[in-house]
Structure 1
Amino acid sequence: MAIDWAGLMMSKLQSFLGPYLIFIKLLLSGLVILSLSRLGLVVWQWDRVVAATSFPTVFWQGLRADLIMIGMLIAPLALGMPLLANRLGWKIWQNLVLIWGVLVIVLISFMEASTPAFISQYDLRPNRLFVEYLRYPKEVFATLWQGFRWPLLIGLTLTIISGGVAVKLLQRWLNTHQKPWPLWKVWLTWPLLILILALMIRSSIGHRPANPSSFALTPDAMVNSLMLNSAWSVYFAIYNMQHEANAAEVYGTMTDEAILAELHENYPWIDEDTQRKFPTLNVRQATIQRDKPLNLVIILQESLGATFVKSLGGEYAVTPQLERLKQKGWWFEQLYATGTRSVRGIEAVISGYLPTPARSVVKLSLSQQNFFTIADLLKQRGYFTEFIYGGESHFDNMASFFIGNGFESVIDQHDYDDPVFTGSWGVSDEDLLNKTHQQLQQKNAQGQPYFSLVFTSSNHSPYEFPDGRIELDNPVKQSNTNAVKYADYALGQFFDKAMQSDYWEDTLFLVIADHDLNVFGDALVPIERFQIPGLILGADIQPRKITTVASQIDMPPTLLSLMGISAETPMIGRDLSLNSEQKSTGRALMQFADYFALMHGEKVTVLRPQNTALEGHYSPKSRQLEIVGPASAEDERKALAHVLLPSWLYREQRYDMPLGRTDLMP
């Protein structure tokens, strides 16, 4: 008679481990799923992985990260074990294990199945953006369906399959050799389980438990993210979102006095008085004195990074209209975005606000009112202030932030009659800029000073635009280069009309990108992907090339100065209309995932969460950042002051201006 050795061994194992065996099986199942997923991602990104580190490093560090996440997922089940894993509650315990176990397997499978598409778009594992965009299912689903249809369908299929397999396996495991232990035996051994789980979750015997920054072992942020798993990456992002007021303190701390003292050295127009209600308030005198200040129009171009502008070293030549228009105004040759999302560009361009690791202030609760914008300033000066958009203005909380902080009117998709073209993200740039032209003509005819923030959207996945407007750069119509070329076409059409209009001589225009399309690269901070075009033209602006390093936060002070408006504001950005600023090496600030970079000329200081700061050098010619070693204490302190300042001002609600400074009005 044959002996069922496998069954015998399983019976012995079950007798020894009892109800704990199911935890081991769940743990091993999770590790298999996460390890196979990581293996596939590493093979996909093999060249970047081997250039940054070794496969064993990614694998073993990944195993550590996976144990953390699986330990966290098992912990709630383990906490209820002493009360239910006994003869009285055995049926309830088995049902709970079945439901919870399936949820665990489905969750990690879904997150891993979502990862390749997210990396393709953002060059990182899923992070806070994965959560934030769940609030906008219509726009996000349209983008996924048009641009990532097959990854979406494959991911959903794999998730459903994993759920079905999990149900079958768990039912089999729970119905085979499962017998309850005596209550005393469960209580006696349970503390050991809790200790093991605590060690797994902490993954450290040091003062602090491990966190994603513990896995930042290479100079390539994407490779570092492969060492994590997507469920943990998103969990940690959610955790940080609950502590956003102090988010910048992951880099270190400074006193309020030390922050202002440090910044005073770089921005002498800021004093060191932390006791004032608005500590960064400073008076700037306009470099151009005008009897009647100019009107202002900011055209914020969606995802139009330097990548698409050949004269800025871009890979593509799909902006002929912008290249033509740059001959008519101030052209910025080293202008950098502060972040990688539209709202980050918005806060910088209309508020002069520095970036932080937290969400943009456009979305945060304490900045929905009494937060400085140039719209609020200009409204006090008698300007009509308006936001013009082609999509849904509720997206990214834009309408709420704008109306609460100085904008009198919001035009969005619902305000267009018979648009030429409507896509997933709203009406086309053509419709948007035609509406802008109409609004400017109307306000000019009324003799009404105006400020308009115009935000485009055609260059956004799934890249939809009307036929017959451009000669396609890519045979596949719905591609990013074609969308950029169409956005550029619409921009050229608008300015051809604007230059012939009555409002041209009285209006200052800024054309600037919010960020590049895909910010990725094999560096901790891919600085080349932060470079964006910027052009100031209109009125009496003469052609000029601005070669100094500049940031989006420098735009509002410069615009006010060129408009002829002297003002007291909390903005610390540079007025680039001053001759002294033209000769400066300049500086730029960039927030990329968990990293913050401060660039002075070609020298870069990179702050990392709960880790030492690094020094790097960026070459505009080669468009490469080289990390050379730890940053000096002085450079780290300077960078830290820049990232802590906005967090402090937001937390204390001290980024605003006093009302009624009539002595500065023209």
Structure 2
Amino acid sequence: MWAKIFPKRFSVLKAFVLLFLFISFLVRLSLFLWAFNEVDKNFSEVLRTFFTGLFFDIGTISFFTIPYLIYLMILPNRWVGSILDKSITFFGFFLGLFIIYFSFLGEFTFWEEFQRRYNFIAVDYLVYTYEVVKNINESYPLPILISILLLLVFSSLYLVVKLGLFKNTFHDKPSFKSKLNGMTPWVLIMIFFSTVVTNQQSEWSLNTYNNELSKAGIYSFFAAFRNNELSYKEFYPNIDLDKAFDVVQADYIKFGDKMLDPGNKSIYRGIHNTDSLAVVAIPNVIFICIESLSGKFMNALGGDQNITPVLDSLANESIFFTNLYATGTRTVRGMEAITLSIPPTPGSSIVKRQNNRDLFTIGEVFKVEGYERNFFYGGDGYFDNMNTYFGGNGFNIVDRGRGFLLDTSINTKRTNIEDSEVTFENAWGVCDQDVYNKVIMEADKAHASGTPFFDFVMTTSNHKPYTYPEGKIDIPSGTGRNGAVKYTDFAIGEFLKMASTKPWYKNTVFVIMSDHCANSAGKGELDVQNFHIPAMIFNAPNGTSKKVNTLCSQIDIFPTLFGLLNWDYSSNLFGYDIFKMTPKEERAFIGNYRKLGYLKGNKVLVLGDQETANFYSWNPLDNSLKALPMDNEFLEESISFYQVADYLYHNDGLKLKQ
């Protein structure tokens, strides 16, 4: 009976399925032990974690079985055991093993970096293979990893041969009905997982680590591939759209902003900062966006590692924001927040989406004041669509191009960082000092022409493989994150020293802020502390230096700068001038590509893509979230900002006004 339902012809396929399930269990167990201090270890929680994982593993392997099952169905019995049959079966088995072992080994490196199973970041990395492969090669002993991979594949292949399973496969000639019986369960499982099951159903726990361990990495990867942009309207809590705009517009009106498109679904408004005694300043502005600099790295924000002496010193000479939060967990999300001054929208960053040109960015405010706008990046700005985004929004591009051309429809200037200007380079680009040298050169040119400039400078050195020029700091290159942070800090110091010798220095404001934290993992839905980043405005026109403890977001920094410069301007930006905020109005937006958080005081509301809304109190001492009864006013305010931001993007409400 058993042979009729599962004929010996399926022996290799059954071996592949069991091998996949066993290896997947070992990977899940290894990651569980890796995160042992973070997971919920209650017996029922652990049991559910592993059984949910098994459920998704079965769904994942069902997709692998279908191509070979189709082959088994259509191959005539007279060809069973032929050279063709053996070649296809051996090759298919080898390829399948290679894919799953490659995937499982990759999960360990991905977990080390993000404490997550594969997600949309892995999808992005698949697109930018040059940077990723080079980064892996510089970060890990690639020959050893490849050798281990091949050893695992051939060992598994040898085991299956020794067990005689290939022999069974090549000598059994079952009836069509018998093969159909063996195929049907897997087809039904695949259809079930394609139409009914979603990756979000693995997220049953309040502990994020348990949720991640409940997932299957490969399944999560393809789920992220399909859902790289999520519709807020379809997946998140909504309120009446007119009501949402009323809430958001009222928030700006109380600051004295004048709505320029009243009665319509818009936040376009006039902002008044000058008075009869105000002096309007037109300084050069250099913004340094630091890769992955968590607030905890700085002594000035409570750290104790002494790896940011330059920034710690600047904190005492700047307008230093001590309670500022990144809106997301990736560089492109930080760029989106800073340039568009917008809360995070679900899915991928607007920087990476197609409808991302001719938007109202902070660059437009600078343009009205006569500034030249430049984007500097030490790698190739093709990565993460940065050049298309910045070039399509009026910035000149200065990068380390490898030959990828800008879209011909983008009318902008592109300047290359030449080989002769490079002293050190790794997978992600040239070292920070080389980028800053280029910034100095371009600033000299702009000053000579009499044109004020706004430079957006994206650093790269604080990124795995954490390599940088030797002999600059007391931590050897490539030994870890702390060394990269200290070199990043050192490079900023050298840049400011060089800049201070230039005639344009006294009339230049330096804005320094991180794009996101070094990691974002946590037990709760959103790990609030892992969004805390440093930000400062140095060399402001009035020489002001003070610590600002106001709760705020990345989106607020440039509206605050425009206020300091006493500019009147038209705005489509969501950010506030921090110095106009009262304690009651303080808030911050935080999120990842699926969870959207709204933080006020020690309260945080998290919106999820299953139309969920959870309300918590946050304890910054242990970074814990405690569930609270829902506050409906808080909920309405949270939904309003996110719903309005998503609506404006999808309905061209972020576009430049004609």
Q: TM-score, normalised by structure 1?
A: 0.86
Quote the Cα distance in structure 1 between the aligned partners of 2:366 and 2:78.
Answer: 72
Residue 201 of structure 2 aligns to a residue in which SS? Answer: helix
The one-letter code sitting in structure 2 at the alignment partner of 1:346 is M
Q: 1:30 to 1:609 in 2, by over 3 A?
A: same
- Structure 2 gaps of 5+ residues are 402-415
* Correspondence for 1:576: 578
- From 391, 407, 411, the counterpart of 1:403: 391
- The one-letter code of the counterpart of 2:207 is D
Letter of the structure 2 residue corresponding to residue 42 of structure 1: F
Match of 1:517 in 2: 518
* Residue aligning to 1:386: 374
Give the match for residue 237 of structure 1.
224
CA displacement at 1:489 relative to structure 2:
1.7
The separation in 1 between residues aligned to 2:261 and 2:173, in whole angstroms, is: 68
Q: Measure how far apart 1:453 and its partner are.
A: 0.7
How far residue 377 of structure 1 moved from its aligned partner, in angstroms, is 3.6
Partner of 1:462: 465
Aligned pair in 2 of structure 1 residues 87, 515: CA closer, same or farther (>3 Å)? same
Structure 1 contact 378–451 (Cα < 8 Å) conserved:
yes
Partner of 1:371: 359
In the alignment, residue 554 of structure 1 is paired with which amino acid? D
Between 68-77 and 246-255, report the one with greater CA deviation.
246-255
User: Which residue of the other structure, out of 27, 40, 46, is the alignment partner of 2:30?
Assistant: 40
1:7 corresponding residue in structure 2: none
In structure 1, distance between residues paired with 2:456 and 2:642: 26
Which 10-residue stretch deviates more, 645-654 or 543-552? 645-654
Q: Give 1:260's match in structure 2, choosing from 245, 251, 256.
A: 245
Deviation at 1:247, TM superposition (A): 5.9
- Partner of residue 471 from structure 1, selected from 474, 479, 484: 474
1:341 is displaced (CA, Å) by 1.1
Distance of aligned partners of 1:17 and 1:143 in 2 relative to their CA distance in 1, 3 Å threshold: closer
**Are residues 1:343 and 2:332 paired?**
yes
Q: Contact 1:509–1:537 (CA<8 Å) still a contact in 2?
A: yes
Q: Per the alignment, in what secondary structure is the counterpart of residue 335 of structure 1?
A: strand
Cα drift, residue 282 of structure 1: 1.8
Residue 596 (structure 2) aligns with: 596
Question: Equivalent of 1:214, from 201, 210, 216?
Answer: 201
SS state at 1:410 partner: strand
1:57 correspondence with 2:52: no
Q: Is the 8 A contact 2:11 2:168 kept in 1?
A: no
Paired letter, 2:452: P
Amino acid at match of 1:576: I
1:532 matched to which residue of 2? 533
Provide the rounded CA distance (Å) in 1 between the counterparts of 2:328 and 2:463: 17
> Which amino acid is 1:121 matched to?
E
Does the 8 Å CA contact 1:249/1:644 hold for their aligned counterparts?
A: no
What is residue 215 of structure 2 aligned with on the other side? Answer: 228
Shift of 1:16: 4.4
Q: Quick check: 1:153 aligned with 2:144?
A: yes
Distance in 2 separating the partners of 1:165 and 1:543: 64
Partner of residue 116, structure 2: 124
Matches within 5 A, 1:24-423: 24-51=14-41, 54-78=45-69, 84=74, 87=77, 99-149=91-141, 153-154=144-145, 157-158=148-149, 161-162=152-153, 165-166=156-157, 169=160, 172-176=164-168, 178-183=171-176, 194-199=187-192, 201=193, 209-241=196-228, 244=229, 246=231, 249-268=234-253, 269=257, 276=264, 279-286=266-273, 289-367=278-356, 369-412=357-400, 414-416=416-418, 417-423=420-426
Matches of 2:42 and 2:269, distance apart in 1:
45
Instruction: Verify the 8 A CA contact 1:338 1:591 in the aligned structure 2.
Output: yes
**1:649 to partner: Cα distance:** 2.6
CA offsets 1:267-302 (integer angstroms, 9 cap, x no match): 4458698984x7221221235743453332211111
> What SS does structure 1 have at the residue aligned with 2:355?
helix
State yes or no: 1:428 paired with 2:431: yes
Question: Residue 118 of structure 1 contacts residue 124 of structure 1 at CA under 8 Å; is this kept in 2?
Answer: yes
The TM-score, its normalising length taken from structure 2, stands at 0.87
460-469 or 295-304, which moves further after superposition?
460-469
**Offset at 1:325?**
1.3
Q: Which residue of 2 aligns with 1:646?
A: 645
Cα distance change of structure 1 residues 49 and 159 upon mapping to structure 2, 3 Å threshold: farther
Partner amino acid, structure 1, of 2:643: L
Q: CA deviation at 1:96?
A: 5.8
Deviations 1:106-139 (A, max 9, x none): 3232211111111111111121211212333332
CA distance in 1, matches of 2:314, 2:364: 30
Q: Whole-Å Cα distance in 1 between the matches of residues 372 and 642 of structure 2?
A: 33
- Tell me, in whole angstroms, the C-alpha distance in 2 between the residues paired with 1:505 and 1:452: 16
- Which letter maps to 2:211? N
Counterpart CA distance in 2 for 1:468 and 1:614 is 50
- 2:549 maps to a residue whose letter is T
Residue 509 (structure 2) aligns with? 508
Q: 1:382 is aligned with what amino acid?
A: G
Q: CA deviation at 1:652?
A: 2.4
Distance in 2 (alpha carbons) for counterparts of 1:95 and 1:637: 62
CA contact (8 A) 2:260 2:268 kept: no
Q: Structure 1 residue 554: deviation in Å?
A: 0.9
**Is the 8 Å Cα contact of residues 614 and 628 (structure 1) preserved in structure 2?**
yes
Q: Which runs of 5+ in 1 are unaligned?
A: 1-11, 203-207, 660-666
| Partners of 1:109 and 1:357 in 2: CA distance | 32
**Percent of pairs identical after alignment?**
26
Partner Cα distance (2:42, 2:333) in 1: 29
My pick for the range that moved more, 133-142 or 85-94, is: 85-94
Q: Work out the CA distance in 1 between the residues paired with 2:26 and 2:202.
A: 19
2:467 maps to a residue whose letter is E
Q: How much does 1:641 deviate?
A: 3.4
* Alpha-carbon separation, structure 1, partners of 2:197 and 2:628: 23
Q: Which moved more, 1:280-289 or 1:172-181?
A: 172-181
Structure 1 residue 168, shift from structure 2 partner: 6.9
Q: Which amino acid aligns with 1:372?
A: F
Q: Separation in 1 of the partners of 2:180 and 2:368?
A: 69
Q: Deviations over 1:198-252 (max 9, x none)?
A: 44x26xxxxx8332322223333233111112101111110102xx262674333
Preserved contact between residue 213 and residue 608 of structure 1 (Cα < 8 Å): no
Three-state SS of the structure 1 residue aligned to 2:39 is helix
How much does 1:544 deviate?
Answer: 2.0
- 1:308 deviation in Å? 0.8
1:320-347 per-position Cα deviation (integer Å, ceiling 9, x unaligned): 1112112222110111111111111111
- The 10-residue stretch of structure 1 (508-517 or 46-55) with the greater mean CA deviation from structure 2: 46-55
Written as runs of structure 1 = structure 2, the 5 A alignment for 1:477-488 is: 478-488=479-489
Q: How does 1:610-625 map to 2 (within 5 A)?
A: 610=610, 612-620=612-620, 622=621, 624-625=623-624
CA RMSD between the two structures:
3.2
Maintained 8 Å contact 1:548/1:584: no
**Structure 1 residues 431-446: aligned runs within 5 Å:** 431-446=434-449
Structure 1 residues 187 and 512 mapped into 2: Cα distance closer, same or farther (>3 Å)?
closer
**Distance of 1:167 and 1:273 partners within structure 2:** 72
